[in-house]
Each structure stands twice: as structure tokens, then as C-alpha cells.
Amino acid sequence: MTTQGTDAKPQNELLNTLLDNFKIWTKKLSHPGLWITIVGVFILGYLPIADQSPEAAFANATARESTFTILMSIVLVSSLNILLGYTGYVSFGHIVFYGLGGYVGLYTIIEHQWPLWKAMAAGGAAAGVLALVLGSAILRLRGAYFALATIGINEAMRAFVSNYDPFGGAVGLSIHFRVYRETYGSYQDAFLVMYKAMLGLAIAAVVLSYLVKSSKFGLGLMAIREDEDASDIMGVIPYRSKIIAYMLSAILPGMVGVVFFFKASTIEPAAAFKLHTSIEWLVMIMLGGFGTIMGPVLGAYGYQNLRTILLTSEFFKNIQLAVAGLMLLGIILFIPAGLIGWLRRHISFTRRVLT
Amino acid sequence: MMILQVKGVSKRFGGLQALSNVTVDVPPGQILGLIGPNGAGKTTLFNVINGVYKPEEGEVIFKGKNVVGKKPYRLAHMGLSRTHQIVRPLKDLTVRENVMVGACFGSQNLSLGKAARIADEVLEFVRLRERANQLAGSLNVGQKKRLEMARSLAARPNLLLLDEVLAGLNPTEIAQMVEIVKEIRTRNTTIIMIEHVMHAVMKVSDQMLVLDFGKPIAYGTPSEIANNPKVIEAYLGDSSLADQFNAELAAKSAATAE
Amino acid sequence: MDFFAFLIDGLLIGFVYGIAAMGLTLIWGVMNVINLSHGAIITLGMFGVYLAFAELGLHPYLGIVLVGMAGLLTGMVIYAVAIHRVINAPHLSTLLATFAVNMIIIGIGTAYFTTNARNVDFSLGSVKAGPVNIQVTRLVAAAFSVAVTGSLYFFLYRTKYGKYIRAVSNNREAAELMGIPSAFILALSFGLGTMLAGIAGGMIATFFPFTILSGGTYEVKSFVIGVLGGIGNPLGALIGGILLGIFEGVMPYFTETSWVPVFEFGLFVAILLFRPQGLLGAKK
Amino acid sequence: MRTFVKLLSLAIIAAFVLGAVATFPAKTHAQSERTITIGFTASQTGKYNVESTRQINGINLWIEQINGAGGITLSNGTVLKFETKFYDDESSTDRVQELYTRLVTQDGADFLISPYSSGLTDASALIAEQYGVVMLTAGAASDSTYQKGFTLVYQTYTPASRYLTGAVDLLAATDPDASRIAIVHENDKFSTDVANALNSYAEDLGYEIVLFEGYDSGTTDFAPFINKIEAADPDAILGGGHFQDGSTFARQLYEKDAGANMIALLVAPPEPTFAELGDAALGVVGPSQWEPLAQIDASKAEELGIEFYGPSSQEFTAAYMEMYDEEPSYHAAGGYMAGLLIQKAIEDADSTDTDDVAEALDNLDILTFFGRNSFDTSDDNHGLQVGHSMMYVQWQADGDELVKQIVFPFEAASAETVYPIGSE
């Protein structure tokens, strides 16, 4: 279609628009950073499952588990980044979407024998709807007030679910071991399905956050982050944009909740709505660089690996929390832009490659 | 038909009457200078016009529609742009992205690709083209002012509100900026400008409105305003400005005498 | 059921909540920092009094005084190390910086103290007031809360440094222009907030058993109180605390107690939405 | 200063990158001399830290003793020695599966012991099943864990459904006129399971449940509950949750003089540190999996017609006190017991093969210092502890000292129940 462009007259608006769009999309999709990230995540996820022979599966089992944790974090923090990094709204209680998704998903699996993918869709949808409803209310708040409201909502939700009988109240929900065998042959096979689902979600999260960032909508979000009132005056519709961003950042975590709690076979209010975990997500984003595509991915990877080292090392085992705290403080004080942000700012050529 | 009609607008903040019964008509293509001592309500009037504040009384008719109660973004979509007295660059975005925000979300509602083209054009126009890839936060004050200007121009507004775009600029920059303003007007954009740099605003305005304590005290051509005793008296309340006013009048008459 | 009993108990715990929240709202109001290490510092106060009592054999109330002084210094150190650099950065930075402090305190505390529950075995007996039995330690805590509120008021409105703090709180730049050493004043405010948190922790330790993780509960309640009473003024925190205490005390009269947190946090969000300046706050 | 900051930034980035790329060399385990690895996770940093630490102590004591005794010699001459490998699970489900996978596939754990809480155990049991490794649970009292179709998970403790029911029996035996029970429990999985079972058990016996309420984990102010209890005027208050809330509850019940005749709470009362409450601890009853005072030895086994295995209660207590210089709590005994069960099963099976050991556990019915032990082998409840039952302790005054006495079951009692509370 580019050949037709040669005799395109300036007044040929439609063709120009098409050409423009074509150029934008080619440019968008040829950004090296996007592909580096996608390929990186894929390789990271594929390596532990590349060799399916029983010996290799056994040898790679720990790697699969820890990679699963990393992939899960990638989805969670890349999603949260849409709200936090692009829009500048600090959601402390973002775990509410993960918890609710997990509950809805497990409920459908236990009560209606839904397959995993359908339960994931349900969990994602529930999270999206919750974000829409909550967002319409609390996105009127700015700065720290918004952050506090998200904490309040998470606590209210936890207390509510503890009393809500269809979700098992304080006891929670639990999946019978037979479910894995009957549906997938064995827990191993079920885990492989979950693993692949998580890998898919991780890549989806990267693509989603890239598409949002490189879109007009994303530009609007970043304008809101920099100066909400000024963006309003320039014609960005802050309220609507924020709600959409909130929903986009909630749906994938809702689906992750389903996969994670399906893997654990059990869900309880305290595990589903644990505020501390939610704050860890913020830490990962800060480590990698907020508002970037690669930052959350690297942050998740680095943070989870670091935690593994601390948790399993004889020396740090007892004070791993304090060590992680010191690291976080160091990052906040000295490299507030995170790893990717720091590189982009100080080493100019990285700007073309890192995103 | 007038592009903007402000009819009997009053705005109160607690006990402070920021605007009382302000009325002014702006025909298309005109430059209206808005002057008055500090705290006279000039910026408040801007905020009322573009929907940041809702007035207690009165109407603001933009392009034939009463826009009181409409959100700022609605007015932006209708073709209203403004700059801020204290510049508000989107610091962590590049200069080009800043301008693209204006182009994308203003009255034209452009796609990113088009917006980028427009942004480069406009940046060329305000002489910031070579800084397009820099972060907006790294610009100096003069450049930031031009960026604000570029951002609002990129929206292709019908009405442009300029809030002290000359303040804090050195004489060369002022001259540049005045050229830019004149140029904009040739593009059929109506302008209202708040300004303290008298000689400049007098030079470019078609009509001028003077506010004092929220009340309109004079309206007319620059020369009518310059000779209006009420205006001078208002400024005398603020001695430094009165000095400035007189000095500039002297300069202006000297200039016209030449 | 005797409604009066629920009310009295709620009121009494409310004083404790009030003093627990005061440090948080002071820091929040003066420097616009939501201190996520507040809970950890409350816990430090508890352990401070516990150690003074169990190891040094000091009277708990003397322990509280020592904890308060140590808290002032600790707070100023925390400010200098962790917060000063990011005081003007976006909210996220101060939130995470204080959260990092929280992780460090809890991490070291857990390694050192374990999560074993401690108990300051100390009692002043109790008095019978109508249908309810009131522990004297709680009455002392209530009186103490009022006294602390009063002295804080006095400090903020009648002393030089107090006035400085309020000036910095109102407009940091203007205060600096007037020659007020804002860095020191901010450190002092953070120190005061920490001192109050420590005192609150020490007070709580005289009547509740606790572990290294106990502070978290009071931190979350302090957010609610800050929003109820408005931020930055000690009386607001006290009244907010009392309101919350009464709410928590009286709600179970009408409903199952396990539903109370649902209403509590629901109310919290509702107030944020409809009266972000606090129920009592009038300013801004 | 600027350079310093830059250098520091670089250092932090370097540390971060190093951390990110560091990989772990897989451990090569020397299998030449048969060392059996017992793998588990413990809550070193979470809220179950106390219970977990004691459990680890118990396990380590067992390891010490068995290795000191020359290990287990199988009939084919192989000598088995034992070691432990454990990680911190932070009392959180987030990583517990990963850690158990690591234990099995990298550290070569031959047997597993569960995490402390039921939720974590449910998640880690999946890993045990997946890799065919036998898991003994200590803690993890909820019955539901054993109703999920696992085949390799065996419970050391009396399950939640029978945790507090004995307290009702005790009440019935002590005060036939008592008819009103208030249940106030922590709103978490374990305590709610206990409370629900207790509720139906008591109702079946004809008791009126005058109050049934849950409190949030981390509750410190129990005044509203106590007010409700006073209004409901029960004969007994049953419930509680874990150590901290339980002791807080007990203290406030005492301070507010709540006025029931019997108070029985979960978990907290059997802990030696409960005595720190002073007078508030007096008279409080609590279910315990095991008590140092319990006289369990070979003679009891003869009465029951089953085998007695391992040390007697006194021997265990003495050994534990020698090693740790504190009295063992039931969590310590539980950890030791989990090890002892593995030991017995290996001996019975004369093998370390999972199927053989599992079969030996299925067939097990022994008496140990900890009490009787045998497991449900039905499909629906496989691995559920059916042999063991709770003891009930009460804190009583002995001069100025507070002592913990066993008051129920009566055949094991070391003292009479003080009833009503405070009547001493």
C-alpha cells in the first residue's frame, strides 16, 4: 500500500491518515525495546519447560517454580505500572483485584467445575468490574488520599470476604486434589498448564503496557501524571482516562489471582488480601524504573531473585526483611528513577533500546 | 458574531469578591489585552472562561454556547486553549510529547502521527525544534514559556488565552514572543492576553480591558486606556506598577513621536 | 445488653487510638508525609517500655518517659537518613522510604525479639463504674492522652519552635524566606511524631500484650483517625480517635462484631470521598 | 557529595544486577552413605514464629538423638543417618510451593514436615504428592487438609474438629447444671474450623450456644466481646485463636471480671509464657496436644494392647530441657513426634521407599510419649489423625507460683479442675 502513496495528493486526507497510521504502527512495533522485552520474557519462561523429559522436568522443577513466581510478578507489576507509572496514582491496595479474582475463579472452579481459562476470564472480569465501580468513586481523590483509600478498600474487602459465606468466610475455599487429576491427568500436568497460562499473561502484560504507553491514550495518562489540571485544560479527560487505566491495571492481576490460588489449591482472606504483598509490587516497580516497559519486568526479576537468595541463604535468612528494606531505601534515595530510568537518563544511547 | 461573550460574571472565594459583574465581548480575530494590578482577578477571569471555576453569576458564551459549568476539557475540545502564568510543563515528557498532548486532545483530536507532525511544525514556529527530544523539565524559563505557547497552539484553538507569557523574559525574548503573538493572530486565532509588560501589550492589543478588585474599570483601544485617569488611579494604588505604567507610557509616546 | 458499657469501653479505647494516631497526623500535617513506619515505631515504643520494665526493672511510666526521649532522637535520625532527601519528591518516594524504614525495623526486631508475645505484667487495679469495670491503667492512659494533647497544643501555639513548625506546615517556602531553618524544623516534627508514636506504644504496652508485629493495627487505625479528625492538629487526632473508639465499641451492640471492620473501612473510604478534610477539619 | 552519590548509585545498581543474575549451583548430594534429609519450612519471620521455632527445636532434638544412637540400620545393612534442611516461609503462601519443590528436587529431601498453618500445608502438600514424598504435618490442624484426596500426608496432631470438644466434656463432667456456652474465636481458618466443630458438638450435647462470634486476627481490644459475653451470661467461654490474641483476651476477661465459670482458649494457655499474664492466667483452661506432666509410658500401652515406642514423657522432657534449657511446649513435642513417626515407619517398612513407608504409616497404631497415634486410611479422610486426643490444662495457683496442671482427661489428670474459675 505504500506504493500508492507516491501519487497521493495532499488533500487526500483518508490516504494520509492511513499512511500515518501505518507508519505509526510500523514504528511502534519495530521498537527494539518491545522485542527485547518480549523475547526476554519468553526465553526466561521457556527455558525451564523446554525439555519435557521426566529427568529434566525434575531437575528444572525449582527453576520452574521460581520462574513462575517471577512471571507472576511481571504480570502484576506491569499491570500496576499502567496506573502507577503512567498515570501517577499510587495504589497501595492493588492486591484487592488479585484477591477478588482468586476468589471468583476458585468459586467457579469449585462450584461450577469451570476449566481454568474460563475461571481466569471470570476472575479478570470481576477485577475489571470492581475497578470500574471503585475507580468511579475513589479516582476523584488525589495523591496520598487515593493511596489511603485503596488501603481502606482492601481492608474492607478482606473483612467482608471473611464474613461472606459463599466464599467460605474465614475458612476460605479449597480445591480437592482430584480436580487436578481428573481435568489435567496429574498435578504436574495441571501445573504445566498454569505455567503456560502465566507465561502467556506475562507476555500479554508486556504487550499491553507497551501498547498503552505508545498510544494516544497513554500520552494522555502521562499528561495526567505530570499535571492533572493542566492536562484537563489541554483537553485530556482525566476522570475517564483514569478509570480506564485503573481497569486495565486490574484485569490481569485478577486473572493472576485465579492461576496462583488454583496452583495453591486454597485461598483464605488473609492470603488473598495481604497488604504487604501489594507494597512489594510497588517496590519492584521502583527498582526497575516506573513508567517504563522494561523496568517492571526487570524489577520483578531482580527482586524475586534477590528474595530467593536472601530467603535461602544461611547468612541472611534471619534478617532478610531488613536487608530488603535497606536496598529499597537505597534505591529510593539515590536512584529514584529505578534501573531503567537511571540508564535512560545517564547513558544516552540506551534511550533507543530501552523502553 | 462574537467568539466570546462574558456577561455579568461574578466569582467569590469565601469573603473575597474576585470578580464582580464582568462583561466583555470579543469578536473573532481580535487581540484583547487584559490588564490590572496584582490581585485584580485577571487569572480568575481566565479560569472562569475555561471552566476551572464556576462563577456564581453570569454567563460565558463561547462560540454561541453558554459554557458555564462545562469542564475545562470540554472547552478545550471546543477550541479554547490557554497558557499559565506559572508555566506548567509536563516535566518528564519530552518537549515534542508536551506539544503532542496539545495537538492530540485539543479541538482537532488528532492521531499521534499527525500530532507529531503538527508538533514539529509548531516547535519550529516557536524556535524549539532542536530541543524536541529533550525533557521539558530541563528547559529554561524562556523556553518553557515558548513550550507552553507551542502546546496551546498545537491544539489549533479558535480562542487562545495567554497568561503573562512575557513575564520573566529578557528583552530579546520579549521581542521574539511579541512576534509570535502577532503571527498567531494572522492565523485567525482570537487572543486574550493578560500582561504586565505594558508597552508590549499596548503594541499588540486591539482592545483592552482593565480590571481592578474584580471590577472592570475601563475598556477601549490601547490609546484610550493609556489616557484613562481611572486606570492610572488604579495603578497608583500599587505604586511600583504605577511607576512602571507611567514610564512605559512615556516610552510609548516617545516611540510614537519618532 | 447494656449500651452504656459498650459506650464507655469504646470511649476509653478511643483515647488510646487518639494518642496512637497523633504522631502520624502531626507528621502528615506538617510535612505532608504519610509515615508508613508509624506502626513499627509504635512497636518500638512497646518494646522500649517492656525492656525498661523487664530488664531494668523500671516503673512502666518512667519507661514511657525514656521511650519518649529516645523517640525524639530516633525520629530525627530517621528523618535525616531516610526522608530529608526525598521530602520534596512525589508521594510515592516518601511512602516507600518510610515503608523501607518499617521493613528495617520489623526485620531487625523479628530477628532479635522473635514474634513472641510480650506482656508488661503491671496493673493498677480497676474501678467499678456502673455496669463496667475500668482498669486504672486505661484511665491513666486517657488522662495522659489529654495531657499530651494539651502540651502539644501548648508547644505548637505558644513556643518558638512550635510556631516554626506551624509556619513550615503552612508554607515551607515562605517559612524559609523568613529565616526559619526548615530542615531542622522538619526533622524536629518527625522527631515529635516519632516520640508520640513511641509514647503511644509504651502506653498500650501497659495494658495489652503485644508482639513485634502489633504496631501495624494501630497504623491502619491511625489512617482512619487522621481522616476522621483531620490532619495536623492534635485535638483532631484525639477526637478522631475517640470517635473511632466509640464506633468500634458501639457497633457490636447492633451487629456481629466481625462485620465492624467492613463498616469501619467503608466509612473511612466514604469520608475520604465526601469530606477529605476530615469530619472536623475546616481548613482548605 | 555528587560523586559520592553517583558512586553509591552505581554500587546499588551493581548489587542489584549481581543479585538478579546470580544463579544457584544445584546441590550434589552425596548418596553413598545414606543420609536421609528431612525437609520443611518454618515461619521464622511471620506471625507463627514462636510455634515454628519450638517445632524446629523438637525436630533437631530428634535428629540429635537418632544420629547419636547410630541411626537406623535396615535389614540389608544400610545405616541411615538423618539431617534437616529448612527455609523460612514467612508464614505466607507466596513461596511455600517453591520452597518445598526446592527441598525435594534440589536438596533431595526424602521426607517432608509441613509448614505450621493449614493454608500453607494445603499448598505444600500438593508438592509432596506431586513428587511422591511422604509429609508429616505438625500444626496444620484443620480437618479439611485431609479431606482433599492426598495419599501421602499424615497428621501428627489431633485435628481441629476435636480440639476443644473435650472442654465441653470437661464442663459436662464438672458441672452437670451448666447449659450455656459462649464461643468467641479468631476469624481465621484454623480457629473457625475449631469453633464450628465445637459449636455442633456442644449443640448435639444439648448446650445452648448463647454467643457465637469471630474476631479479626490482630484484635487487641476485646471489650465489645466481653460486653456481649456478660449480656449473654454463659457458664463457659470457649474459643480463642493463637497465642497473642488468646493471651490478650484472657487478660481482659480477667480485668473486666467477665463472670463465666469456665474459660477455655486455644493455643495460648499451654504455652509456658502464658504464665506472664499472672493472675489473669489463673483458672484458664486450654487444649494441649501434649504436656510434660503427662504420664505416658509402656504400662499404658499394655492396657491398650498396642506397642509403646520411643522415649517416655519424662525422658523426652529431660532431654529437651538439657538441650534448650526450657520446658518443652506441645509444639516442641509435635516436632519431635513428626520425626519419631518417620523413624518408626522406616523401621516398620525396613525401607525408605515412599510406598513402603506410606503403607507402614497406614498400618501404624502405637503409643508414644506424645500419646496414641494412628491414621485414618479411608479415601475421604486419608492421613487424618484418629489415635491421638487432646489433653486439657489449667493454670492453677501453687503458693505464689502459677503451675499448669492437666485436668482432663481424668485418667491423665495431675490435678482437680478448679471450678468455677477463681474459686481457689
- Are β-strands B190-194 and B159-163 bridged in parallel, bridged antiparallel, or unpaired? parallel
* pLDDT tens digits for range B153-206: 999 899 999 998 888 888 888 888 888 888 888 888 899 999 888 888 888 899
Place of cell 468513586: A137
| Grid coordinates belonging to A177 | 486434589
Q: Rounded to whole angstroms, how far apart are CA atoms D268 and D264?
A: 10
Residues with Cβ within 8 Å of D232's Cβ and at least 6 positions away in sequence, in order, are D180, D182, D210, D211
* pLDDT tens digits for range B49-71: 999 999 999 999 999 999 999 99
D76 to chain C nearest CA, in Å? Answer: 45
D119 and D198 part of one domain: no
Terminal Cα distance for chain C, rounded = 42
Q: Do A172 and D189 touch (CB under 8 A)?
A: yes
Mean pLDDT (chain C, rounded): 88
Upstream peptide bond of B89 is cis (omega within 30 degrees of 0):
no
Q: What is the mean pLDDT of residues C99-112?
A: 91
Quick one: pLDDT band at residue D27, thresholds 50, 70, 90? very low
Q: Do C13 and D221 touch (CB under 8 A)?
A: yes
What b/e readout covers D120-148, taking b as 16+ CB neighbours within 10 angstroms?
Answer: bbbbbbbbbbbbebbbbbbbbbbbbbbbb
D214 and D80 part of one domain: no
Is C125's pLDDT higher than 90?
Answer: no
pLDDT of residue D424: 62
D63 and D192 part of one domain: no
pLDDT of residue D17: 56
D404 and D266 part of one domain: yes
Task: Map residue A115 onto helix, strand or coil.
Answer: coil
pLDDT of residue B253: 59
CA B228, chain centre distance (Å): 23
| C106 interaction partners in chain A (CB closer than 8 Å) | 321-322
Quick one: pLDDT band at residue B230, thresholds 50, 70, 90? confident
pLDDT of residue D30: 42
Question: What angle (nearest 5°) sits at the alpha carbon of residue B19, between those of residues B17 and B23?
Answer: 150
- In A, minimum Cα distance to D90 occurs at A311
Q: What is the mean pLDDT of residues D39-45?
A: 85
A-D Cβ pairs (cutoff 8 Å, strict): 148
DSSP state of D144: G
Quick one: pLDDT band at residue B258, thresholds 50, 70, 90? very low
Is C182's pLDDT higher than 90?
Answer: no
pLDDT of residue D1: 54
pLDDT of residue B111: 86
Q: Rounded to whole angstroms, how far apart are CA atoms A321 and A324?
A: 5
* pLDDT tens digits for range D321-360: 999 998 898 889 999 999 999 999 999 999 999 999 999 9
Q: Is residue D25 in a domain?
A: no
CB distance A282 to A92 below 8 Å? yes
Task: Map residue D103 onto helix, strand or coil.
Answer: helix
| Grid coordinates belonging to D143 | 480437618
Q: Which chains touch B (3 or more CB pairs under 8 A)?
A: A
Residues with Cβ within 8 Å of A31's Cβ and at least 6 positions away in sequence, in order, are A210, A214, A355
| Grid coordinates belonging to B145 | 514559556
Q: Rounded to whole angstroms, how far apart are CA atoms C219 and D279?
A: 31
Please tell me if residue B81 touches chain A, with a CB cutoff of 8 Å.
yes
Task: Map residue D40 onto helix, strand or coil.
Answer: strand
- In D, minimum Cα distance to A277 occurs at D94
Residue (of A93, A98, A85) closest to A294 by Cα position: A85
Mean pLDDT (chain D, rounded): 88
Place of cell 532527601: C85
Q: Sheet holding D111-113: strands in order across?
A: D72-73, D79-88, D35-42, D111-113, D134-137, D153-155
Q: What is the pTM of this model?
A: 0.90
pLDDT of residue D315: 92
Quick one: pLDDT band at residue B237, thresholds 50, 70, 90? low
Strand ranges in chain A using DSSP code E only, listed in sequence order: 173-174, 266-267
pLDDT over 90 for what percent of chain B? Answer: 46
B residues 143..162 contacting A (CB < 8 A): 151-152, 155
Mean pLDDT (chain A, rounded): 89
What CATH code is carried by the domain that includes residue D237? Answer: 3.40.50.2300
- In A, minimum Cα distance to B102 occurs at A234
Task: Look up the domain containing B111 and give its range.
Answer: 86-157
Domains of chain C are: 3-274 (1.10.3470)
* pLDDT tens digits for range C186-219: 999 999 999 999 999 999 998 888 888 889 889 9
Task: Map residue C127 onto helix, strand or coil.
Answer: strand
Residue (of C241, C245, C246, C215) closest to C228 by Cα position: C241
Query: Would you tell me how many other CB atoms lie within 10 Å of the CB of residue A55?
Result: 8
The angle, 0 to 180 degrees and rounded to 10, between the axes of the packed helices D96-105 and A238-264 is 40
Place of cell 526424602: D110
Question: Count of domains in chain B?
Answer: 1
pLDDT of residue B236: 62
Q: Is chain D adjacent to chain B, meaning 3+ CB pairs within 8 angstroms?
A: no
Upstream peptide bond of D420 is cis (omega within 30 degrees of 0):
yes
pLDDT of residue D361: 96
Q: Is residue D210 in a domain?
A: yes
Q: Rounded to whole angstroms, how far apart are CA atoms B145 and A66?
A: 51
Q: Which chains touch C (3 or more CB pairs under 8 A)?
A: A, D
| D84 interaction partners in chain A (CB closer than 8 Å) | none
| Grid coordinates belonging to A105 | 475463579
Is D13's pLDDT higher than 70?
Answer: no
D8 to chain C nearest CA, in Å? Answer: 14
pLDDT over 70 for what percent of chain B? Answer: 91
Compare CB distances from A219 to B72, B112, B113 and report the shortest one's residue: B112
Q: Is residue D233 in a domain?
A: yes
pLDDT of residue D25: 41
| A325 interaction partners in chain C (CB closer than 8 Å) | 100-104, 107
Compare CB distances from C117 to D53, D227, D244 and report the shortest one's residue: D244
Query: How many residues are listed for chain B in this entry?
Result: 258
Q: Write out the H or E segment, with its range, that includes residue D237.
A: strand D236-240
* pLDDT tens digits for range D73-86: 998 889 999 999 99
Q: Do A234 and B81 touch (CB under 8 A)?
A: yes
pLDDT of residue D19: 53
Q: Is residue B103 in a domain?
A: yes
Burial degree of A324 (CB within 10 A; 0-12, 13-18, 19+): buried
What is chain B written as a DSSP string? --SEEEEEEEEEETTEEEEEEEEEEE-TT-EEEEE-STTSSHHHHHHHHTTSS--SEEEEEETTEE-TT--HHHHHHHTEEE--SS----TTSBHHHHHHHHHHHSTT---HHHHHHHHHHHHHHTT-GGGTTSBGGGS-HHHHHHHHHHHHHHT--SEEEEESTTTT--HHHHHHHHHHHHHHHHTT-EEEEE-S-HHHHHHH-SEEEEEETTEEEEEE-HHHHHT-HHHHHHHHTSHHHHHHHHHHHHHHHHHHH-
CB distance C34 to A144 below 8 Å? yes
Please tell me if residue C203 touches chain A, with a CB cutoff of 8 Å.
no
Compare CB distances from B90 to A216, A226, A237 and report the shortest one's residue: A226
pLDDT of residue D2: 61
| C260 interaction partners in chain D (CB closer than 8 Å) | 224
Please tell me if residue C277 touches chain D, with a CB cutoff of 8 Å.
no
* pLDDT tens digits for range A83-110: 999 999 999 899 999 999 999 999 999 9
| A279 interaction partners in chain C (CB closer than 8 Å) | 99
Q: How far is CA D129 from CA A187, B88, D40, D344, in A?
A: 8, 61, 15, 21
Tens-of-pLDDT digits for all 355 residues of chain A? 344 444 445 557 788 778 877 877 887 788 888 899 999 999 999 999 988 888 888 888 999 999 999 999 999 999 999 999 999 999 989 999 999 999 999 999 999 999 999 999 999 999 999 999 999 999 998 888 898 899 999 999 999 999 999 999 999 999 999 999 888 888 889 999 999 999 999 999 999 999 999 999 999 999 999 999 999 999 999 999 999 999 999 999 999 999 999 999 999 999 999 988 888 899 899 889 888 999 999 999 999 998 888 877 777 777 778 888 898 899 889 988 888 888 887 877 777 777 7
Q: Is residue B109 in a domain?
A: yes
| A326 interaction partners in chain C (CB closer than 8 Å) | 100, 104
* pLDDT tens digits for range D234-253: 999 999 998 888 988 998 89
Q: What is the mean pLDDT of residues D378-397?
A: 93
Residues with Cβ within 8 Å of D286's Cβ and at least 6 positions away in sequence, in order, are D240, D246, D264, D265, D266, D267, D268, D269, D270, D274, D392, D393, D394
CB distance A28 to A20 below 8 Å? no
Q: Rounded to whole angstroms, how far apart are CA atoms D386 and D374?
A: 6
| C13 interaction partners in chain D (CB closer than 8 Å) | 221, 223
Task: Look up the domain containing D217 and give its range.
Answer: 162-288+390-412
Q: Rounded to whole angstroms, how far apart are CA atoms D98 and C57?
A: 46
D residues 197..216 contacting C (CB < 8 A): 213-216
pLDDT of residue A316: 76
Q: What is the mean pLDDT of residues B93-102?
A: 93
Please tell me if residue A284 touches chain C, with a CB cutoff of 8 Å.
no
* pLDDT tens digits for range C268-281: 999 888 877 766 65
* pLDDT tens digits for range A240-256: 999 999 999 999 999 99
Task: Write the ipTM.
Answer: 0.88
pLDDT of residue D12: 63
Burial degree of B129 (CB within 10 A; 0-12, 13-18, 19+): middle
CB distance C186 to C87 below 8 Å? yes
pLDDT of residue A129: 97
| D130 interaction partners in chain A (CB closer than 8 Å) | 186-188, 191
Question: Count of domains in chain D?
Answer: 2
Q: For chain A, which residues make up each domain, given as ranges?
A: 31-275
Q: Rounded to whole angstroms, how far apart are CA atoms D392 and D371?
A: 14
Q: Do C5 and D230 touch (CB under 8 A)?
A: yes
A-C Cβ pairs (cutoff 8 Å, strict): 129
Q: Do A235 and B73 touch (CB under 8 A)?
A: yes
Q: Is residue D15 in a domain?
A: no
Compare CB distances from C262 to A88, A141, A156 and report the shortest one's residue: A156
Q: Do D144 and A176 touch (CB under 8 A)?
A: no
Task: Map residue D218 onto helix, strand or coil.
Answer: coil
